[in-house]
Amino acid sequence: MAGSLREPKADSASPPVPTVAVTGGTGFIGRVLIRRLLQERRGVRALVRPASLASRFEAPGLSWIQGDMSCTDSLRRLVEGASAVIHCAGSVRGAGEADFFPANVSGVEKIVKAAGESPECSRFLLVSSLAARSPELSDYASSKRRGEEVLRSAARELDWTILRPPAVYGPGDREMLPLLQWIRRGLVFVPGGGDARFSLIFVEDLAEAVLSWLMSGAGGGCCFEVHDGKTGGYSWEEVRKIAGDLFQRPIHRMDIPRGVLETAAHVNAAAARVIGYRPMLTPGKVRELCHADWVCDNANFSSATRWSPRFGLREGLLRTLG
Ligand SMILES: NC(=O)c1ccc[n+]([C@@H]2O[C@H](COP(=O)([O-])OP(=O)(O)OC[C@H]3O[C@@H](n4cnc5c(N)ncnc54)[C@H](OP(=O)(O)O)[C@@H]3O)[C@@H](O)[C@H]2O)c1
């Protein structure tokens, strides 16, 4: 398949809905987001990298544009005629800036420019990360913060919004699934063995949050945090109790000393450089995992959009692990 695939067919019985341009639609979050937009009968035009054509899915109202975040021409075609852009693509694993910055920083610059040049496009949502709050921790975190800064300075005529989710989980997630599966088997691994607190969000609630942003017209140069409604976040002890109650079995806590994680991360990063893959566990990721405070606050986003989350950790685990 080259170029774009089928545009959505207008339903003669209902007024045409403006198309939304989406990046990251072959990924964990973007896939759920696109399905939710389509359920609301939104036309969706999504970006797919040539190497990921097999990950794309077909649905009425959905069309794909081939290209990546470095390809200005593809980004122009992606946003052309769209009323809003939801930029969800991002590089989430890697050994250094070179793995994160092209997608998470230069990519933002390019798509903001394309959106700004498209007369129909007035709104832009950047799916950033709570990690952007602490850019000193890792190359991933600093790339997400730099991406936000690029948006703030380049958006000009666009009505832009930044959304900072905490850790996102749900069916289809590759990163957190092994940890959740271990919890069901009765072991909760605690990175660094500390008493961190963290917010979480179930992927369907995040998709609903993005839809609320789209429908409400909220934003206007704001940066919002979103979580699953657990004020003050979770401790590992609370996770252990919730899972124990859900799976009706004892869940044991296993502390992984920070030194062990750091050693594993250094070995993994070195192997990645030699063999040539993008590692998830790196020294930067260890600093993120051992960070004491990943708690965020829903209040501003909820009052701006009237969104409220539906799935707490118990329900989310049930839906993720079945
Ligand atoms: N998952 C979380 O816990 C979490 C938490 C906070 C924020 N976020 C943010 O949410 C977004 C989506 O994350 P995810 O968990 O869904 O990650 P994911 O499953 O790895 O999906 C990433 C998506 O971005 C695309 N992408 C990556 N680099 C690209 C490039 N250079 N050009 C075009 N597309 C590119 C990927 O395309 P391919 O399929 O071709 O690889 C994929 O569609 C990211 O921006 C991430 O920073 C995630």
- Ligand 1 pocket: which of 88, 144, 226, 285 to mutate (most atoms within 8 A of CB): 88
The whole domain housing 217 covers 19-165+203-226+296-309
- Please state the pTM of the whole predicted model: 0.94
8 has pLDDT over 60 = no
Pairwise CA distance, residues 199 & 4, whole Å: 38
Category of 192 on φ-ψ map: left (φ > 0), alpha (ψ -120 to 50) or beta: left
H-helix or E-strand containing 249?
Answer: none
Any idea what the CATH number is for the domain that residue 55 is in?
3.40.50.720
- 176 CA: nearest ligand 1 atom: 3
Pairwise CA distance, residues 3 & 271, whole Å: 36
Model confidence band, residue 322 (pLDDT cutoffs 50, 70, 90): confident
Model confidence band, residue 162 (pLDDT cutoffs 50, 70, 90): very high
> Is residue 191 domain-resident?
no
> Is residue 239 domain-resident?
no
Q: Which residues are within 8 A (CB) of 33 and not within 5 positions of it... i.e. 6 or more apart?
A: 22, 25, 86, 88, 206, 207, 210
> Is residue 181 domain-resident?
no
Do the beta carbons of residue 118 and residue 157 sit within 8 Å? no
> Is residue 266 domain-resident?
no
Pairwise CA distance, residues 156 & 121, whole Å: 12
- 104 CA: nearest ligand 1 atom: 45
CA 299 to centroid of ligand 1, rounded, Å:
26
> Is residue 13 domain-resident?
no
> Is residue 217 domain-resident?
yes
> Is residue 208 domain-resident?
yes
Look up residue 39 and give its two tokens: 């359920």
> Is residue 207 domain-resident?
yes
174-188 confidence digits (pLDDT tens): 889 999 999 999 999
126 has pLDDT over 90 = yes
Pairwise CA distance, residues 72 & 238, whole Å: 46
- 24 CA: nearest ligand 1 atom: 43
pLDDT number for residue 220: 86
180-214 confidence digits (pLDDT tens): 999 999 999 999 988 899 999 999 999 999 999 99
For the chain, what is the domain count?
1
Pairing of strands 197-198, 234-235: antiparallel
What lines the ligand 1 site, CB under 6 Å? 23-30, 47, 49, 52, 55, 68-69, 88-92, 102-103, 107, 127, 129, 144, 165, 167-168
pLDDT number for residue 5: 45
Q: Which of 61-70, 155-164, 296-305 shows the lowest mean pLDDT across its residues? A: 155-164
Look up residue 93 and give its two tokens: 């694993």
CA 243 to centroid of ligand 1, rounded, Å:
28
Mean pLDDT of the chain: 93
For ligand 1, atom 47, which residue shows the shortest CA distance? 90
pLDDT number for residue 14: 55
116 has pLDDT over 60 = yes
